[in-house]
Amino acid sequence: MKIYDWHTGPYPARVRIAVAEKKLQSQVRFVSVDLRKGEHKTPEFLAKNYSGTLPVLELDDGTFIAECTAITEYLDALDGVPTLTGRTPREKGMIHMMSKRAELELLDAISVYFHHATPGLGPDVEVYQNAEWGFRQCDKAIRGMHYFEDILKKQPFIAGEIFSMADITVIGGLIFAQLVNLPVPAECAALQAWYDRMQERPSVQNRVTMSKPAEASS
Ligand code: GTS
């Protein structure tokens, strides 16, 4: 399998964490796509993923699977022992809901803020920006952090009692928050404590070095 990837990207990090959690490193070859150069908007790349985003999984039969959740579901199902996306119908439903909520309320909101209210990937890539929309999404992400604070006051993981894809999505959100200098609010102590715990997981610690291209400096 190949994964089209950018080593500092918060979304690709989600899939690299899933790869490590599933111990699939030896089965994956990472192919670096430089977002700052707009390599994800070329016709060649758009043929792999219509949305022009990373990551993308390419199977050995030439099938392309985009979207972090879809890739994670594929990887998790490979060995017949799902550990990230749920075993029972209830677990599956809860994990899917909480992962989607983490995208809507946190990670995607920060991404919009980055692309619209900051220089983002630079003028050659950011062809349309709407700063007001970006700042609104920043406020939404901060509200999202408070939502996950309330969740984590009641349970050890985002979707309940076990680590799952939903945790990985919130981790992606907080990685992106750090990149745009958006700190976890001081009053969100449970969220910060959970994040500190998450950073002790080898999959999270090794997420950058796993795919960093030799020539990349940042
Ligand atoms: N919904 C997609 C998913 O879950 O895979 C979003 C993917 C996404 O936005 N990826 C970012 C991207 O390609 C990668 S990164 O920001 O984390 O590095 N952004 C480039 C762009 O131009 O939107």
**Domains in the chain: ranges and CATH:** 2-83+204-216 (3.40.30.10), 89-201 (1.20.1050.10)
Tell me the residue length of the chain.
Answer: 218
Share of the chain above pLDDT 70, in %: 97
SS3 38: coil
- Fill in the DSSP letter of residue 78: T
Does the pLDDT of residue 64 top 80, yes or no?
A: yes
Q: Name the residue with the closest Cα to ligand 1, atom 20.
A: 53
Does the pLDDT of residue 216 top 60, yes or no?
A: no
Does the pLDDT of residue 184 top 90, yes or no?
A: yes
- Characterise 19 by phi-psi region: left (phi > 0), alpha (psi -120 to 50), beta (else): alpha
The pLDDT value given to residue 209: 79
**Alpha carbon 204 to chain centroid, angstroms:** 11
Cα-to-centroid distance, 135 and ligand 1 (Å): 19
Quickly count: other Cβ atoms within 10 Å of residue 143's Cβ: 11
Does the pLDDT of residue 43 top 70, yes or no?
A: yes
Cα-to-centroid distance, 154 and ligand 1 (Å): 31
Pair of tokens at residue 14: 């989600």
Integer angstrom CA distances of residue 92 from 124, 144, 164, 200, 206:
40, 22, 10, 25, 27
User: Which of 100, 111, 116, when mutated, tests ligand 1's pocket best, judged by the most ligand atoms within 8 Å of its CB?
Assistant: 111
Ligand 1: residues within 6 Å at CB?
A: 6, 9-12, 35, 40, 53-54, 67-68, 111, 121, 125
Cα-to-centroid distance, 205 and ligand 1 (Å): 21
Contacts of 67 (CB under 8 A, 6+ apart): none
The pLDDT value given to residue 218: 47
Does the pLDDT of residue 40 top 70, yes or no?
A: yes
Cα-to-centroid distance, 100 and ligand 1 (Å): 15
- Fill in the DSSP letter of residue 66: E
pTM score, whole prediction: 0.97
**Alpha carbon 107 to chain centroid, angstroms:** 7
Considering only residues 30 and 215, tell me which one the structure prediction assigns the higher pLDDT: 30
- Fill in the DSSP letter of residue 121: T
What is the rounded CA–CA span in Å between residue 96 and residue 1?
24
